[in-house]
Amino acid sequence: MSQAPIRALIFDVFGTLVDWRSSIAREARQLLQPLGHELDWEGFADAWRGEYQGAMEEVRSGRLAFQKLDRLHRRNLDIVLERLSLEGLDESTRQQLNLAWHRLDAWPDVGPGLQALRRHFLIAPCSNGNISLMVDLARRNGWHWDAILGAELARDYKPKAAVYLHAVAALDLHREQVMMVAAHSSDLEAASAAGLRTAHVARPDEAGPGRGESAPTVAVDYTAADLRDLASQL
């Protein structure tokens, strides 16, 4: 692989930078418990997230025209609520619940890690999340991006090559000057196939205890325990 200097880091967000499972469980509990509902809150988060890839595949395959992840999340929410016999929730509650994805908390290492990395590199999300979602997560968690890139601008969803290549083009860089940072080997494999450099960040408890990746399952340029470790390596 080319040894051209890395100029920019682009990041997966859900799971890599934010703890979606605990955050969604918390948000669902805060909204639904006062209405008299008692659920397995982490199980609810898992069920909602479980519809994620299938919904995006409808877009990636061309069966569904591109739409923002907020709209896909809402479609998936309605599916899960019906499955749990909670279809009686009013529209206002559904809207507030859908915006839970805008209120996710970062893993503890992310704030200082991004701050350290930004001293030396351009940094930007390259997420399947829409721009308003990325803006809200950045403001909530105190992140300072140089750009917001990803699916909404590319009008497609990862791991389609167009999403990574659109990010590279937006920064006016060459592929080998941009590194994709993610906790998911499938994301990194696709980015590498598109010509980008890659770094894996371990999130072993992303989907629950021991239900995340502690190490990559594909070849990558860097492996890191967290973002602070990645900053130290780079």
Are 45 and 120 found together in one domain? no
Tell me, yes or no, whether 108 and 224 share the same domain: yes
The predicted pLDDT at position 87 comes to: 80
Q: Which residues of the chain have pLDDT under 50?
A: 1
The first and second tokens of residue 216, run together, are: 């990559």
**Spatial CB neighbours of 147, under 8 Å, sequence gap ≥ 6:** 122, 124, 170, 171
Count of structural domains, the chain: 2
Can you give the pLDDT at residue 3? 74
The pLDDT, as a whole number, for residue 1 is 44
Domain ranges, residue 182:
8-19+104-233
pTM here?
Answer: 0.95
Q: Which of 79, 103, 127 is the last residue before a domain boundary?
A: 103
Residue position matching structure tokens 């990803």: 150
Closest alpha carbon to 182 in 156, 164, 170 = 164
Using CA of residue 49, residue 54, residue 59, residue 64, what is the dihedral sign?
Answer: negative
Query: What's the rounded Cα separation, in Å, for the pair 45 and 138?
Result: 21
